[in-house]
Chains A and B, each alone.
Chain A
């Protein structure tokens, strides 16, 4: 067990813990903040796995952009937290049950497959080669994703902008 191993387990524990706490917060703001922690953890994991660029992007985009967007929305709509009935029984009991079964099955499955015991070696993908790789092999997907982002932009615009008027029309 190397120091990296210990690091991995610590981070994993942190991520899981942060996520678990996040999804049980009644207050959305708290939830989002805890989730940001979990994303930081994930970013470190990426770094540990030798993907520094992805780690950076994770922090910037996920923790930075996306979660902040969440926060922004939550703030913008001043939602009274207690309105939500946290974990209705009819939802979380079956969810928990299936989750448990799922985890059991997942473990069984992961450890059943022989290939998975392969120990991971330390590797490093420098941003340079990563970028090169992406733009050599996947610029088709990049084009598509750009179109997707554009479309998302348009969609968000339309859905956000027209709503009052459409709302009035009804």
Chain B
């Protein structure tokens, strides 16, 4: 694999601006809320800018790992502070930057315990960034947990519906996942005999016996899969989505679930390709079930956020399906879908957040006729919903398209099932749109204000991103391919 050292430590700079923001917030007196918000907005904006720079500066022709920073951390254990970016992680970094920034803006009106909220939020995102950019198993695990444990307080303190139950469930569930990841990681470390946690050295073929790979892959897949909302282990995610405050839901559905899928890709698939090939069918079946199942359960929901939660179960199923087709297209589609779904679901939650803050209800039957009252807000939601349906011209379409093509090539029957789910998804998404926004003007909320320009900014950004990548997907596919194609070509068959 090609390694391109960084001329400037952009990645550390991203982490640093997160940590710096965290410290800055910690040292601002809690009374000075507006300053805290400004600080957090500016620091998150900095990360967004940096990730954009990365996205632009990444040499697509060269491919491989770029912006490499490699510092020995615990030599005796072969742990390195090894940050790098490749075609898989770059879109996710960009995604994180966008969602982070917009998430901060979305929660601008929140006034309770602002300081703690933003501090924990920064901690959360630090973990996410770190995980996406780290190439060292130890650090990946560390970042994974760093991004998990703020969730409990974030949900339990600032959340809404059944928040303590949801928070506890989510935290325990995800830590159960990490309970499977850590042994697998250590197993790989020990069995490699190289005394290193670095992914690059561990990737060399023939390092692990097929047996080890199967075992480790299963553990890792289950561990990370829980976070990715793989079918039987998905129940934490709708509950968590619903309970969490909107900004956190955005990060949570938009980025955290991607961490799961990314972990499967980065750790499980890259280190245990044989295990991947061995378990691929299982993955595919679970993913297909998740797709159709999530859509059907979504049909029954009466809570806006529950609907979104189940839709993301379904959409993450598409990601899983892409990962399970042992092909480069599959990987491309999966990563693209991660990005697209992240943006889309963030937009959904952001709009729901606005609506909820005004109407103080998420129950679909109580809503309705909002489109007349807050046309702009509902437009944002509808755009996101359409993206979720997979309407061409918005980013999600491409991810689903490529994944379906790949899946149809590898597992025709599952591909058919997954494609059928499209109709169901359309049904329930449109149902929600109709019940929430259409219908006669709802007098109960008649005097509520519409989104002002300033409030609209985060949603505008997200919608614009959806549109841009929907119109020229090549922007992203070019990047992803630099990672997927060499990886697949180097795969032992």
A and B touching (Cβ–Cβ under 8 A): no
